[in-house]
Amino acid sequence: MTNVRERASSLSSAEFRFVCAFVYDTTGIVLNEGKREMLYRRLTRITRERELDGFSAYCDLLKSQPEKERDYFINAITTNLTSFFREQHHFDYMTQHEIPNIISNAGNNKRLRIWSSASSTGEEPYSIAITVNEAMKAVMTQWDVKILATDIDSNVLAQGKQGVYDEKKIEDIPTKFKEKYFRRGSNQNKSNVKVANELQRLITFKQLNLLHQWPMKGPFDIIFCRNVIIYFDKETQLDLFERYYELLKPGGLLMLGHSENLGQYQQYFENVGRTIFRKPL
Ligand SMILES: C[S@@+](CC[C@H](N)C(=O)[O-])C[C@H]1O[C@@H](n2cnc3c(N)ncnc32)[C@H](O)[C@@H]1O
């Protein structure tokens, strides 16, 4: 029996280069030799689903019908790993510092805007919504709160919009949140939970490729850009940081993922916590 590494070499250099270039040009995601096995596994699934008999036939399809095939291909290639309250310290910072400060400095401008810019299947924006709803409990009805959740992948967005999760996904969240914000399904859905309407009302899910123009004007109080720039090269990262900076309010926060940093763009932000960066006032 051959192992994945050996079989992955059946993806020719030309096919590998073509697919990597297609992914980079479309999404900004950099794939290198280290990703060959991952790419092999995903391409194997794709060719099976497309009922094609090899990678070269799939490359031909991408070449001949790039527009038609793009969404399906990108959905199959992206890595969507996420979880509720992933990197809990960001939500703690919002609860303990940011939201109380925003409330006390608001005056008549009772407007809160948050952007989850690589929202995947929705766990991140729903965790933001729970955090906001809890921290603003006493004043929520007087506030105009909106959370924008975007991703390039149309499948994960559809899942996020639906707000239905396997109950295992909420295993680790506090019981009081489970009871307050999730409804258990019945019959064949009894191992699923559905997010409460009061959270769903706060969130708009939209498809957006971070490499393209951004239609929103902002300004945002907080932007989550977590565990996505890690897939991009330095040039793309810098370009994105500049655009996030422009869309943030003075004093607004940019949250990055655990292994991400602002590199040379750090000089424009103040580092106020672990992977938490503030645009100066
Ligand atoms: C690993 S998930 C991170 C999810 C969440 N932010 C978290 O930290 O748990 C990365 C997400 O980035 C999305 N993504 C990758 N390239 C993108 C692009 N060019 N524009 C928008 N989203 C992109 C993927 O579809 C995927 O859902």
Write the pLDDT tens digit of every residue in 79-111.
999 999 999 999 999 999 999 999 999 989 999
Residue 80 CA, ligand 1 centroid: distance in Å: 6
pLDDT at 1 exceeding the cut of 70:
no
Residue 2 has pLDDT above 80, yes or no: no
Ligand 1 atom nearest to 232, measured from its CA: 16
> How many Cβ atoms from other residues are within 10 Å of residue 28's Cβ?
21
- Out of 31, 35, 77, 78, give the residue to mutate to test ligand 1, the one with the largest number of ligand atoms within 8 Å of its CB: 78
The pLDDT of 142-171, averaged and rounded, is: 98
| Cβ neighbours of residue 6 closer than 8 Å, sequence gap 6 or more | none
Predicted structure pTM score: 0.96
Amino acid (1-letter code) at residue 261: N
Which active-site residues does the annotation give? 42, 151
Mean pLDDT value across the chain: 95
Closest-CA residue, ligand 1 atom 23, reads 152
**Ligand 1 — pocket residues by CB below 6 A?**
27-29, 78-82, 86, 118, 120, 124, 151-153, 156, 209-211, 226-228, 257
Q: What's the half-sphere exposure (Cβ side, CA atoms, 13 Å) at 271?
A: 10
Q: What percent of the chain has pLDDT over 90?
A: 93
